[in-house]
Structure 1
Amino acid sequence: MIKELFKDNASVLSSILAMDIMSLEETLKKYLEQRKYFIILDDVWDPEAFNDLSRMFIHNDKGSRVMLTTREACVAAHASPGRILTLEALPEYKAWDLFCKKAFPRDTNHECPTELKPLCKEIVSKCKGLPLAIVSVGSLLRVRDKTVEEWRRINEQLSWEIINNSRLDHIRNVLHLSFIYLPTYLKSCFLYSSLFPGDYHFKRKQLVRLWTTEGFIEERGESTLEVVAECYLKELVDRNMLQLVERNSFGRMKKFKMHDLVRELAVDLCKKNCFGVSYEDQCGGSLEMNGLRLVLHKLKKDIQQPFSNMHQLRTIIAPGGSKSSFTLLPLLCTESRYMTVLELSGLPIEEIPDAIGDLFNLRHLGLRNSKVKKLPKSVQKLSNLLILDLYESDIHELPSGIVKLKKLRHLFARKTIDTDWRELASCGSVHIPNGLGNLINLQTLQALELEDDSVGHLGELRQVRSLRLLNVKAIYCRSISESLVQMQYLSFLDVNASDENEILGLNVCLPNLQKLSLRGRLAEGALDESSLLQAIKGQNLYSLVLSWSQLREDPLPSLSRLSNFTRLQLSRAYNGEQLTFLMGWFPKLKILVLRDLPNLSRLGIAEGAMASLEELFLVNLSSMTEVPSGVEFLLPLQRLPFREITSDFLALLRRSAIRGDRWWYTLRD
């Protein structure tokens, strides 16, 4: 930069090479001191580099400006408040215009030939709005024969072209530079994510648990590995290596994806480094394996032959959508003795071989949505197991030796019974044998069917963050409350009563609780008297679901004191006839669900109530004879579904002042 500024001053240029850093700084400061300047710092990677340079920029009140471009959020954060511009992917029409200008520069109005248009649309779609890719691919196609056959070949081989065509080197170089600048601890996490299908939407918890079981996460102070993994995830988003797709109602990152072009680079690196292999949509035959990890995409049939290098395999993942019954599982259990992750969720597997107990290094066993009915007794030998996922499987009872797995951190065993979640007992769980208290490292327990002998051991699970309890009786509530006090990290609690007459009398203060669901009868006054629902300093409760509460008194005045709510659901929770949301109530609420409130006939919303509401669901409110008043005050409202309404109520809606583009409906059967 200094050489550029002093290119017309030979004396200064000749002395630059002999200057130390302090002298260079002073030289630049003197040059800028009396000038109005505009300096662009392009593609800055290191915040420290910007800090060093910024010391030389004089604030001389002459309207000078410094602009920097970067792929790193930590560098962009050095900009003045309100001066950060995040570049988004080009919208479809702009991406098309840019492509046509590069691919057809000599054609009238850069118009795409009619016969090539469908192929061009596909090619542009694969670029996902990335200007660099659109310009590069468009320029590549500009010199190709403009025939359907040639352009179809390019479209089908675009992934190969990006990795291998020398004319697209600059795309690879830009993407590869991003990978090189990743800290070592992030590189494996990034490559791992590329093994999943293109456009696959990762869930935060899914990635965090897989990275943890793979051993990618380094300890940081007193934080759990899961907390550190979430920090890694945020770093990859901040570095634009993963794209944030969705946040939950209280702003926490929820879903992610990887840009197709970034994924192509990463898949190539995976192959070259024997990191892992993707196997997609094959119809049997032999699989050439040269990697430690295998991700199976949408298998239509079984893989009939053993993998090459099967003994080296450490991870197998089936992300869903496969129809294979995976008959090679018994052979894997004997040949791949160092298996770490076995994630077979969604596969129609019916039986787990006894030999699975020989996988001494197994840390993750996923059988979610499988047809497995029983686990072999040999699972008690999996002493390194961290995650056991039996969610929505057909397993009803765990072997007695399961309580020997003292490293187990996450146990998922919920089974949905009523998919509409209208019945009180809408879900069930597996029976956990005596010895629950041995699982002292459990962070997730979903769900536990409480029995007389298991209630007393809950308090020994002091590391639990997420807990779902079923079959809760009133006589258990005191013991449960005493146990919950021991769970200082608890952030999610779901409590389900054994029947509609059992009162959920929980009275405990849980300052770190973020999500609470109470499914069962509540005593009148419980919302005011229970410490569980009191507004205290530092209250973190964002989400509340009350179902089958049978409250006669209006719950809103009591609940309105909890001002941090972003989601509130009342289902069969209130037997009264009217609900009114007053000014100032629920200022952060984004999602409100009112469902199965049979006596509710009037719903009013005052101006200034629920000032942040984005989604309002009104479901099966059979006594409603008036359109809710005050909806027009909900300016941020984006979705307003009226579900299971009568034809008469629909006629009222159509005559109301509610804008037609804000609501939709389904009629009652």
Structure 2
Amino acid sequence: MAEIVILLAIKKIGIALASRVANQANVQFGKYKTQLQELHGSMGRVARELRIMHEVLCHMDIRNRNNQVYDGWLEEVQKVAHVMEDMVDEYLYLVGREHDIGSCFYLKKGFRKSRSLLSMNQLAFKVKEIEKDLSHLSETNKRWVPMTISGATSSCDYIVKRGQDLANISRSLDEEDLVGVAENREKLEQWLADDDLECSVIALLGMGGLGKTTLAANVYRNERKKFQCHAWVSISQTYSREDVLRNICKELFKDNVSVLSKSAAMDITCLEETLKSFLEQRKYLIILDDVWTPETFDDLSRMVIHNDKGSRLIITTREGDVAALASPGHILTLEALREDKAWDLFCKKTFPKETNHDCHAELKPLSREIVSRCKGLPLAIVSVASLLRVREKTVEEWRRINNQLSWEIINNSRLDHIRNVLHLSFIYLPTHLKVVFCTAAYFQKTIFSKGNNL
């Protein structure tokens, strides 16, 4: 929420300082020229400070989950950003541009109601105070940053754990959850079994929730016995190369207690050499699940020997530039489920005890609507279906869930994995795309919030 408030405050200041608005202000408040210049200067400095704070927020938000000191500081920043929003609204009203600047939806509820307006002197003074408040918050930040950095490892572990939990859920989904993937599964199995002895890299590409990990896990369970050794490791956005090496060694050496115990005391260089030596003469299958950057793949692929034993390396990723590192012709792009397949999966998970998993006739219209809102994403369908499976099978209950599905995704613990997919995707979006999402979310909240009369 703080990120939304800060981004919108920055955007509003940009509107207020645009040449058209500034020219209008100069015409309308010529006798306040000095105050107007001071006001514009303060607004510009506030905007610059907020941009820096926003970048800090984007960086620290990942590492400081549940950090009370950080949360307290962030709450104060949010309050100041809210006040700055109010001041810019006031300024835009004074200048008389609320209908012309094309952004009237930003104006807060009740803003157009008749009330006494702040004078230009008062407005300049208020913004100057905001500037001082932000400066004070920056100084406060500097005083506790060392403490935050010292605790960053445990906070990073939070993100690692979130990614691993999501991977574990995807890996543990039942065979029946693999609806509409027969063609992709067959192609993947063919690539694993073909006669090419060169070590090939296979990429499963698609957005979060499409079932990349679930498909890879299913094929891995069925095909790994055809390889002399095999290992699966989850990468995610935050990873430790040493941890990845140790996890692969644990799987490869799980039947060799002696080597496994020795590897526990090895440094990263010895681990890598031991791993390469072991893989050199073996046909292996290794899965690198959830690779986010080409640099990560390059970093990890150095530990893998490209022998001529018919070995295979599978990577799952949401990023096209990562998938491009696969062997020629070995990219499998997953798409959203077709409407009929999405419906089949929903019915299987929602009505598991019904004959042929038939949906109750009176629930079909609402069920169709709920499925359509899942946009063909298997993880979303399975998650929402698991929620509905334990609810009363009545039209009233179905309608209630459908009407508040957004609330359920945010607040219901059964849908944690959907939030994980959304969160892990959002935190690494470029800033300009975050602005789009945050603005849309803020607008939706404003329009649909209880009691709003816009």
TM-score normalised per structure 2: 0.43
Higher RCO structure (Cα 8 Å, ≥6 apart): 2
Greater per-residue helix proportion: 2
Instruction: State the structure with more CA Rg.
Output: 1
TM-score normalised per structure 1: 0.30
